[in-house]
Structure 1
Amino acid sequence: MVTILAESELIEIIGKMDVDYVLTVGKIKIQEMTKKKTQEMLDQYHIGVKIIDTNLQSVEPPLAVIEAFNDVSSAKIDRERLINEALGRKSEILPKARGEVHKIKETAKAYALESINMAVGEADRFVSILREYNKSKNITETRIYIEAMEAILPEMKKYIVDADSKTPVDLGFLSNDQAEAPMLSNRRSINN
């Protein structure tokens, strides 16, 4: 009678559990629950028997489904392996990506700062030119024109010829090399 009662409780307990749990790590818990439930039923019927221990000899799937169970177990092992490989790859790629993001951000900040500094410098330069222009418009216009000609025609020697006197003005002071004064190769008329 105790055996039949224990088997009945065992079937009820296993019926409420996941098959994977029963066939893998659930053996000890199943034994404890079976012992407790069987003892409760024996006490309820006042049989006077005390269960000392329960022991499941082997927990294996039935022969009809053992191959399918093994396939499922193998698939779970493969799944865990793939997850671990993916996590390993993630831990390899993610720090590199974060480093690249940091590098791009720092490059963008440096570029922004450089652009701002250049814009501020250009604005300051323009303001100083404007101040000089407001002080003496003709001289500033002439200077800007000469600088533009130097930038546009850097290899050519330039002269300024007064439209009234037709006398070349020596622009040697504009050159970095004081010894080489510009020669008359291109006439340009600038009115005072």
Structure 2
Amino acid sequence: MSNYNSYPGIGVDSKILITQNVLSSKLGFSNVDFYGRVQKVISKDLKSFTPEFYAEWPKRKEVYYDSKKAPGGNVFFIVSDEDTTKDGVLFEAKVKVVFMLNLEKLISGKTYWPDAEIQETCLKLLKRIGTIDPTGIERGIENVFKGFDITNIRLNGIQPYHTFSINGILKYTFNCNH
């Protein structure tokens, strides 16, 4: 489908942009939208947050699975609210690469539930890219979207839908040569 990658690769986004572009071109997923780093945006109830991407400033796009616009699913990045550094040059951010997928739309002809196969494919590619040091995998919307409003997500976690994140550490620098 679409790879929403028209944002500048500065700071943490420099490595996210690289990762996003490689995932989009190498995973071979059809009908999947790829996004960069999402923002926590206050929900309509003013009590919770939804993950949204600035697709075209100032317009935002919610990145939860949308069967009409991207029937295969969505891939996007959630970055921690605090990045750390020991020297003021090299920063570390905790990041989740989130995969909200409809496996039925991505894989056919299997006689088994291919969730572990998809996770392995994504993990292998992330390790090959080398921009994120994986530290774990989370499954299920309650775990992946901790801190976000998930009340409007229906049917996820039930076949054929599979939501998981590959979590890790992303190291980056800023170009501060001025």
TM-score range, shorter chain: under 0.3
Give the structure-1-normalised TM-score.
0.20
Larger RCO of the pair (alpha carbons < 8 Å, separation 6+): 2
- Larger Rg belongs to: 1
Give the structure-2-normalised TM-score.
0.21
Q: Which has the higher helix share?
A: 1
Q: Which has the higher strand share?
A: 2
